[in-house]
Chain A
Amino acid sequence: MRNGLFCILLLTAVISGCSQPKNTRLTIKPVYLGQSLDCLSKPIETLLFYLSDFRSEHALTIKPSNHASDNVVLLGTDCGEFNHWQVDLNGELSGGTLQFTLGVPFSDNHQNPLTASTPLNVSEMFWSWQLGHKFFRLDSSDGFSYHLGSTGCKSASRLRAPKDECINSNRITITIENYDVNKPIILNLDRLLQGVDTAQTCMSEQDSAVCKTLSENLSQHVFYTE
């Protein structure tokens, strides 16, 4: 009897070991000036962003790590020690349509950053309880900055969280129509900055032309697969 059980266990182990390796890792490749982003030679100082709510043919959730929680992952680089471009997922990625959100879910976005766990305890990516986190942050040493996050959030003060969703949530849904599990997703900063006057900056001001162009670019063609 004991031997029988052992055999079954062994068989199970062998079978699961033989099954196809699942595609559970998604990679983002940043491109700037037509090349892979390189902090050393480029004016980019910070490129950090939060992604959440991954949707594919199968159900997908984020695998927690030192830069991800169950709900949200922080990717990008501070041109220092933080340098993360991969999301590990529970569930299998498949080709075809892939969707995800650039931003932090509302339920996670307005919490006390001190008691928040990774990756929401990064002060550089936090505005205040009222506005929540910067979803996307690009700083360049030549003076250009783009900080995307929610605006029009109503609460008693900057240090209190809103009860309801902000007027401009500014979360951006990214849809990759022809996702190929064997290729990285390109994040193309050249396309992001297309038609943008980089002498100005964007801090998510709702009436700013620069902000409008940037967020249109982001939602349309900054993320793609080749």
Chain B
Amino acid sequence: MRLFLLLLCVIAVIGCKKEEKPYQWQIPADFPKPTVPANNPMSNAKVELGRHLFYDKNLSANQKQSCAGCHQQDRAFAEMIPTSIGSTGQLHRRNSQALVNIAYNKSLTWAHSELQTIEAQVLLPMFGEDPIELGITGHDEQVLARFNTAQYHALFEKAFGDEQASFDRIAKAIASFVRSLVSFDSRFDAYAYKMQDDALTESEMRGMDLFFSERLECHHCHGGFNFTQSTSHEKQILDRHAFHNTGLYDVDGKGSYPKKDQGLIEITLEPRDMGKFRAPTLRNIALTAPYMHDGSIATLSQVIDFYARAGNGNVNTSQFVKGFELTAQEKTDLLAFLHALTDEAFIKNPQHSNPFKPH
């Protein structure tokens, strides 16, 4: 009888050990954690499944493109062309966004105030028909059947308790993987948060002081630890969706943006939202050229010139885009600072890399 009890205990202990370790955010101590939807808590198994799906071309109807096609790790999960091209060759109207700390994003995509979870956003590239990205619509069963393999059975089992693949689970797993893409290990972070006084060069320090100055106003829209006002986290008490008109276009002298992309107004139908887009994070910004929602500015240097001249002239340009003058040295310094926001460990992190390509 005693032996039986002992055995029972041993089994119970082993049973406990099988339980997965809770997910650990790869963020510095003291940093606020992102908020995560209650119906999709983070787990290592979901992140791992999501990573496989993110890099798997089988997720596109014609098996020609994966998420990683437009979101490349060595470019901080952006890509180097102005606007993206879908799996069928259709041209997208917008520039592929970097996937950097988007777990903290207040809203997703370039200009959508209501799209607030990655689970909802990820359905756009999967099922969207205009433009077609992965092009799953109309090929649902066929695409799903491709995940009926021994490898995916094991991944789904670990992530969701059984081997069944579904698009709901796929969206949740990809969302979990994308949420895991956190980047807080730039030289700026070493200076700012690890208090390493020698982490930045003199030029980068001067550029940093310019960046955080009222003269340039950069930090009004690109403020906070994630370099975007459009940030939320567990300690947040102010809940704001920040969208701005940078004065990139004015096609009719009345502030209109080109018909093919007018920004937030398409969602809210509010005239005041004409030409408003979400301020993206500046972390890893040196890697994500070209810039702006349509990739119309090729280099960071040209972006600085654009803001220096207070945009291209639009009556509704944000009051924080008011123009400034920089000496050649100051511009060099500002560029040096922006390059110090690059996180080399992030773009080389094997946990974020293609699982089908052994390193």
A residues near B (Cβ < 8 Å) are 66-67, 74, 78, 80-82, 112-115, 117-119, 121-124, 126-128, 130, 139, 141, 143-145, 147, 156-159, 201, 203-205
Contacts and interface: CB of A to CB of B under 8 A. Distances in A.
29 contacts: A66-B237, A78-B238, A78-B239, A81-B239, A82-B238, A112-B193, A113-B224, A114-B193, A114-B225, A117-B235, A118-B235, A121-B32, A122-B238, A123-B224, A123-B231, A124-B229, A124-B238, A126-B223, A126-B224, A127-B212, A127-B214, A127-B219, A139-B319, A145-B320, A157-B208, A158-B212, A201-B319, A203-B214, A205-B214
Given A67-B237, A141-B272, 9 more contacts: A82-B239, A112-B193, A114-B30, A114-B193, A123-B231, A159-B191, A159-B192, A201-B319, A203-B214
B172 to A, nearest CB: 27
A46 B180 CA distance: 33
Main secondary structure of the interface of B (DSSP, over half): loop
Nearest to B235: A121
Contacts of B23: none
Nearest to B210: A158
B168 interface: no
Given A82-B237, A118-B237, A158 B208 contact: yes
B32 A114 contact: yes
B122 interface: no
B236 to A, nearest CB: 8
A159 B212 contact: yes
A156 B200 CA distance: 12
B31 interface: yes
* Residue of B205, B231, B240, B241 contacting most chain A CB atoms (<10 Å): B240
Contacts of A145: 319-320
A205 B219 CA distance: 17
Interface in B307-343: 319-320
Interface string B191-217: 111000100000001001101111000
B209 A157 contact: yes
A42 B214 CA distance: 26
A74 B236 CA distance: 13
A43 to B, nearest CB: 10
Given A123-B231, A156-B197, A159-B208, A114 B239 contact: no
A141 B241 CA distance: 15
A135 to B, nearest CB: 15
Contact of B237 (A113, A122, A204): A122
Nearest to A121: B235
Nearest to B227: A123
Contacts of A121: 32, 235-237
A139 B240 CA distance: 14
Contacts of A124: 223, 229, 238, 240
A145 B235 CA distance: 26
Contacts of B192: 159
A126 B212 CA distance: 11
A157 B205 contact: yes
A37 B354 CA distance: 54
Given A114-B193, A127-B212, A119 B272 contact: no
Given A82-B239, A124-B229, A157-B209, A115 B223 contact: no
Contacts of A114: 30-32, 193, 225
A128 B238 contact: no
Nearest to B195: A160
Nearest to B242: A124
Contacts of B225: 113-114, 123
B224 to A, nearest CB: 3
A144 to B, nearest CB: 8
Contacts of B319: 139, 143-145, 201
A46 B53 CA distance: 42
Contacts of B272: 141
Contact of A119 (B209, B211, B237): B237
